[in-house]
Each structure stands twice: as C-alpha cells, then as structure tokens.
C-alpha cells in the first residue's frame, strides 16, 4: 500500500509543479477556454481574482481574506406546482453576476450526483425569510482563503483546462468533532441568491408550504458543498490493515452532503480514493489521507526529547572509533 502511496505522491507533486508554474491569469484563461470554447465569450477582467471579505485578526495583525476567481456559473431550480423540485439546471455565465452564455451546448456541467446533492441541500431554501423560496444562486470555480498570511486555494471545476473535473480535498474544522477531510463539490456565493414570493400560492402541498413557512438559517458569503469523511469510529475489523503513521484511513459519509462556510477550511490534503461506488464511479466510499510531508520526520523521531542533548543516549556500542580510522 505504501508503494502505491509514494508513487501517487510523486505524480501529484509533478502535476502540481506544472500547474503552479502557470500564472494565475493564464489559469483563468485556460479554464475559460475549457468552458466557453473561445476567448470572446468571457470577460477576463471579471475572471480575475476578486476580494470578497477582509477582516482583522483578533490580535489586530494581518488581514484575513476570502477571494474568488471565475469562470462563474448559475444554479437554477424549477418546481412543480406542488412545490417539489422538478429540475436543477447549471448555466455558465459570461462574467461574474452576468447573463448566461447564449449557447450552452457542449459546456461541461457538474456531475449528476453533485446536482442531486444541490437539489437536496437547496430546494425550497428561503434564506431566513418565510414564504419565499430560492430560484437561483451563482457558483464559483475557485476561492482562496487566507488566514495569517497563509493562503489555501480551493477549486471545484467540472472540467479543468479541457480535462477532467478538479475537486480539491480539504480538512475542515468541525469544532467538537475535530478536523476531518472532505471533498469539495461546489463553491457557492449566497449573496447572489434570488428568491420568489410564495405567500399567495394555493397549489403547494401542505408539506412544502410548511417548509417555506419556517425561516431557515440565513447564510451569507461564500460556502462550499462537501462530501465529508465520517467522524464515527472505524470498525475494528478495518483498523489493523491501515495502521501507518504516514497515512490515515477514513470511511465517507453515505448519501449525505454538508454545507460549510469557507471560514472552516483548514488546509488542502492529499487523498487517495480507496474504494469508489461502482454505480457512479465517482462517489468515494473510503479514502486514504496522506499526512503532510512537513510532519513526516516527526513520525520517526521525537526531536523535542533531545533539544539540549542531555537525553541523547546511545543504547548500542559504536562499530568503530576515530582512532581506528586514523
């Protein structure tokens, strides 16, 4: 298993170096080409990094920042007369907050299982105001969360540079549950939500009327939809084969997506899908998370015990002396 891990790490590192050598503006241009087919469909100035939020740290020091980068898209919800969601649609936009591209044919959309997750998370959402429901919300391809001058870039793109989907794995701070890895599925901007009034509707079912009549939790700013690993204990029968200090084994939550504020992002993590759902060929069932390389040395040697040299005692005799070498 470790051999597979190290081979994958080497490939990941090489691919990251290639990607990072391109400027951020070039990344935006290439991503726009993947979505739109040509440069004329996208306003590049609106695809550049945009500052969304700035807040001082508690110690009054450096600023924390959340920025976004295009291309941008719109998620729309269609409803039956009784209030059930009939369809979730995705349309790429010409620019941030702009109109959809006229011809969406050939444009890559998020996978069906992600769109189904959005339906479950958002249909009939009322934004904290009773008797209204969501019609559409805009999405983002990339966001950067900077805390204490340490930026974490997170991407969720259905087709990156005309290639496969790019969905980053991150660690999320769940407070009491601790820090748990998760796959980023979609990045959404709740400040772009559009609602329609439903107070006078006479066709809604009693169940859906009750849903929109109750104010929901109001969300503001950038949030991410994630498929999280489970914080529940790993079954005993699965623990022994995956005991290693360089990687940890997790089971994923089943058929559940979470909506998370970007403030809860801790870092990106290198993750290997151990088992994948055979029906969708995309939903991970279990994963292996490799520890950060900067921590590897600590797993083999506890340097804190020997900082002053007083505890450094060799429990084996030397195989030669300097006199013998001379």
Whole-prediction pTM: 0.73
Mean pLDDT of the region 288-306: 73
Which of 16-20, 57-61, 183-187, 203-207 has the lowest average pLDDT?
16-20
- pLDDT, residue 291, reads 82
Q: Percentage of the chain with pLDDT > 70?
A: 68
Confidence of residue 13 (pLDDT cuts 50, 70, 90): very low
Confidence of residue 75 (pLDDT cuts 50, 70, 90): very high
3: phi then psi, degrees, rounded to nearest 5: -60, -45
- pLDDT, residue 320, reads 54
**Residue 290 pLDDT > 70, yes or no?**
yes
- pLDDT, residue 305, reads 58
Query: Closest by alpha carbon to 141, among 186, 192, 95, 89?
Result: 186
List pLDDT tens digits, range 161-186. Answer: 767 888 999 999 988 788 899 999 99
Range of the domain at 108: 2-325
CB 266 within 8 A of CB 154: no
Place of tokens 């006229």: 102
List pLDDT tens digits, range 116-149. Answer: 888 888 888 999 998 899 999 999 999 998 887 8
Q: What tokens appear for 81 in the block? A: 């007369």
Mean pLDDT of the region 64-89: 89
Residues 6+ apart with CB under 8 A from 15: none
Q: What is the sign, positive or negative, of the torsion defined by CA atoms of 283, 287, 293, 295?
A: positive
Q: What tokens appear for 251 in the block? A: 């089971």
Query: Closest by alpha carbon to 91, among 81, 105, 79, 104?
Result: 104
Query: Closest by alpha carbon to 283, among 75, 141, 155, 111?
Result: 111
List pLDDT tens digits, range 24-42. Answer: 344 444 434 433 434 333 3
- The helix/strand/coil state of 113 is helix
The span from the CA of 256 to the CA of 147, in Å, is 29
List pLDDT tens digits, range 184-236. Answer: 999 999 999 999 988 777 888 888 888 888 889 899 999 999 999 887 666 66
The span from the CA of 269 to the CA of 165, in Å, is 17
- The helix/strand/coil state of 58 is coil
Place of tokens 């990687």: 247
Q: Percentage of the chain with pLDDT > 90?
A: 20
DSSP annotation string for 198-255: -TT-SSS-HHHHHHHHSPPPP--SEEEEEEEBP-SPPPHHHHGGG--SSEEEEEBPSS
Number of domains in the chain: 1
């Amino acid at each position: 298993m470790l051999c597979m891990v190290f081979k994958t790490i080497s490939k990941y590192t090489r691919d990251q170096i290639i990607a990072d050598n391109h400027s951020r503006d070039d990344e935006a241009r290439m991503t726009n080409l993947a979505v739109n087919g040509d440069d004329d469909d996208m306003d590049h100035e609106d695809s550049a990094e945009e500052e969304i939020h700035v807040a001082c740290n508690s110690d009054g020091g450096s600023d924390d920042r959340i920025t976004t980068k295009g291309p941008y898209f719109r998620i729309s919800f269609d409803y039956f007369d009784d209030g059930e969601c009939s369809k979730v649609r995705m349309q790429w936009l010409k620019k941030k907050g702009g109109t959809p591209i006229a011809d969406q044919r050939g444009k890559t959309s998020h996978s069906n299982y992600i769109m189904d997750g959005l339906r479950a998370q958002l249909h009939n959402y009322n934004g904290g105001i009773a008797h209204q429901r969501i019609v559409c919300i805009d999405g983002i391809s990339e966001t950067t969360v900077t805390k204490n001058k340490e930026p974490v870039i997170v991407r969720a793109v259905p087709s990156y540079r005309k290639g496969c989907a790019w969905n980053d794995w991150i660690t999320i701070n769940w407070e009491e549950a601790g820090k748990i890895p998760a796959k980023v599925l979609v990045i959404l901007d709740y400040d772009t939500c559009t609602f329609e009034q439903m107070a006078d509707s006479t066709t809604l079912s009693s169940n859906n009327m009750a849903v929109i009549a109750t104010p929901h939790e109001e969300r503001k700013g950038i949030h991410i939809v994630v498929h999280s690993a489970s914080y529940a204990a790993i079954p005993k029968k699965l623990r022994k084969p995956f005991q290693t200090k360089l990687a940890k084994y997790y089971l994923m939550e089943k058929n559940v997506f979470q909506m998370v504020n970007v403030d809860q992002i801790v870092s990106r993590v290198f993750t290997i899908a151990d088992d994948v759902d055979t029906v969708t060929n995309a939903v991970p069932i279990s994963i292996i998370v490799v520890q950060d390389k900067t921590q590897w040395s600590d797993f083999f040697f506890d340097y804190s015990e020997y900082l002053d040299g007083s505890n450094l005692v060799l429990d084996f005799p030397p195989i030669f002396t300097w006199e013998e070498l001379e």
